[in-house]
Structure 1
Amino acid sequence: MAKDPPSISPSALHPFGGPDVLHALIDTVPDAMVVIDTSGNILSFSTGAELMFGYSEAEVLGENVSLLMPSPDRERHDGYLRQYMETGKRRVIGIGRVTTARARDGATFPIDLSVGEVNLADKRLFAGFIRDLTDSRQTEQQLHSLQAELAHVSRISSMGTLATSIAHELNQPLTAIANYVEGAQDLLDEPSAHNIDQVRYALRESADEALRAGQIVQRLREFIARGETTRTFASISKLVNEATALALINGDARGVEFEQALSDEEDKVLVDPVQIQQVLVNLIRNAVEAMSESTIKRLFISSHLNSDGMMVVTVSDSGPGLDEHVAERLFHPFVSTKASGMGLGLSIAHTIINAHDGKIWAEPSPMGGTQFHFSLVTQRTLPDDD
């Protein structure tokens, strides 16, 4: 996250010799800088902004800055600005955040946005400093590839260790069961009263060993699930915005029309933020990859409260949809819709959401592809303290 931009005082501008000189200085900044008034109208659009968004300054002067935003920020921006002017409550100003922007060609890309407030004489202005997170695309892709490779090695190593542990633990009871069953089979060749008693004994011991094997599996499952995470109330809109930026950071979503419709009724969910972002990034990347060959590419993320007070988040795409045979086992480990996939992403997402006392499921999307839903606990879901 970029540091907050420094405050700008009127006296600091006088030595530069007027607005033309000031604009020339602004144009030396490699990142984009956009200055707006209290109505959201663009007053200045730097050379860096022209290169980033594809508009010339002449085209955007006097236009509302929401022109540079995807939905739903495009429709809500004036309301955010008006709320700040009336209440002083900050959402971005002086805080900064990772979010998404919209270029002239309709492409959505991740940005790091910081906004500073400027008071010039009797005018109140806002200066936005924007860094395109895809500028370091090659480095990010190399880092992402390295992280993916390390994660792959880690998963293989973990599965190998787990498989070794299971084999070692289960070997004794399974061997005992095999021996008892073989012995019982031999005894039945001569079904005397004594031998029948021995067969009953062997079957009882086999049952005991089978129960022991089940207890071993249960103990291993408890060991794997033992790591409790610290949950806190977090903004679902913030989680979605940051996860979207992370998912789109390698530029694969060029040409994808992206929209959001997040709940105004409730925003806070009780989660481990990093884990829920992992789920969101996985679902968004899956959606983008599913639409790689589609003529129409639409990604839609929404949230709403269900009748139980749970927050339901939906990631929907316009891809080809799921094969019905894959859909039946979609959240099982090693089931993948990708030729090179390991089939662990959705299984991990399933584990995370279940651990958050929620549910995750998939169904056909109204746009023709697939939509994934998952539910999360909100304040309304929790019992009263009374």
Structure 2
Amino acid sequence: MPSTSRSHSTRPADKPGVASHALDAAEIGPWHWDLRTGAVSLSRHAAGLFGCTHAVPATYAGFLDLAHPDDRVFADTLLQQSAAGQGAFDFDIRAAATGQWLRVRGRCDPGEAVGIVIDAGRRPDRQDVRLAAIVTSTADAIISEAPDGRVTAWNHGAESLFGFSESEMLGRSLLELVPLDHQADAARIRDRISHGSRVEHFETRRRRKDNTVIDVSLTVSPLHDQDGHLLGASIVAHDITAMKRAQVALQEREAHLRSVLETVPDAMIFIDSRGIMRSFSATAERLFGFTAAEAIGQNVSILMPSPYREQHDTYLTRYLATGVRRIIGRGRVVVGQRRDASTFPMKLWVGEMISGERHSFVGFVRDLTERQETQQRLQELQAELIHMSRFTAMGEMASTLAHELNQPLTAVASYLNGCRRLLDGSAHVHGLMLRDAIDRAADQTLRAGQIIRRLRQFVARGESERHVENLAKLIEEASALALVGVKETRVRVTFAFDPAVEFVLADKIQVQQVILNLIRNAIEAMQETALRELTIATAQRDEDMAEISVIDTGPGIAPDIEAQLFQPFVTSKPHGMGVGLSISRTIIEAHGGRLWAESNPAGGTIFRLTLKALSKEEIDNGA
């Protein structure tokens, strides 16, 4: 190691010769360093460049004192490296006395170093200051190393990251920071740098002063001089320990989630704000027939039949724009579609996740096929039992009604026939009008008897004669009878027929009897109300059912009656028998439809019934 004792001489270095004067004239200051004794000699011009006006240093330590305090360690490191390797050196430092930037160049040979000092001809500009500030203040470690791995620069970020101060690390090897199981990584990086390659974002591990090991991302760039010789490398080290921990935690959560997705009995599907599936559980694979690889990246609408498939993206866009929830957070029964295009009932729950401005959704799907089949079998059994009990009661009631009503109807028919014969032999001025009225009364009497016989036959054998009927005509005929005398009641009647529903399969007499009964009940219910509006409407119900609605603005159904409304002998009328609605429901259900009541939002009651609808194509094909 060269001597570093500090002493100064009041005389200049060796007496300059011709060469020295020539160099001075060229504003080049030569200097010499004796590696064996540590003595340093400078020419007058070299001393002047450093700002020496009195004493000229005669030792290596004194020579270093001529450099700016912030540049001394840097200069010492480079000179010592050159002395150890007998190589060239070329670097810039500032003069301590003047702050002037100087370039120091030379070469170390066995036993000595010979060099020159010249004016570097520059001062740090704003960009230099800015760059120095960035290097000083950045949280990342910025390090320079010599080709042999010794540290030549160490910023504040490196001090914070590794725990070593600049003075502790300058001149030491960076391999001291490399754990044993990562030495091979460091060797690979050094090999690439020696070949002039840059290493970017290399994730590895390093040891801190307190022996804790941290994860770092390294970007290493080779440094070359003007002649292309390798001077070392610059290293930027970024602490990724927290990120790695977060990644591990995320991987653990993902593994846990995958385990849940693979074992949960309900299908789970994650979608993004565009409806694209991002996760597809094992249960979802079994339920829909798609593999996760096939489903992920596809729009979730492929799991829906039309028209829901075409409407789904519109619903999603509308929610994201308005924030109005319709199905999120609620369970609902919907229809799903499998890969083979078969459909099935399912219960769907949708949850929402928000991260910043990003929305994503998770759907939990439960197959209801088996449950609905079981419920349907139970309902069919229950309906059959109820059906049989109703028919038993209706059989008894129909027999009694037929016996009790046929006698007075027969008597009425006989009296009317007698009156007709009397009028035939009379020249009464209104004879023609009276005969017509009597004929009409007789026809209605016979019709009433026919209805009773048909109802009795229907209850007895459990079937009816159904034909293709024009729905509007069927309703108009029934209404014409039911609305006799309606003007006196001041009830406003409105018909609203849906042209899409034209034909139904029905026993005309039975269905007209039901409609007549519902209209009569509605008119009677509005006798005590100021607003009296009756609406009879038709509409498409599902694909193959027609719906008929009888809507009134009466007082509504009494709570104590509502639950028993369709049971036999339950009525709110003072003189009613309570069999009309029970018989009506039995007739409609025998047609494969439904009859039910619900509250009218405008006040009053709505009775709805459904019948089998037929299209023209079905009629032409003999359906």
TM-score, with normalisation over the residues of structure 1? 0.48
Greater RCO, CA 8 A, separation 6+:
1
Larger radius of gyration: 2
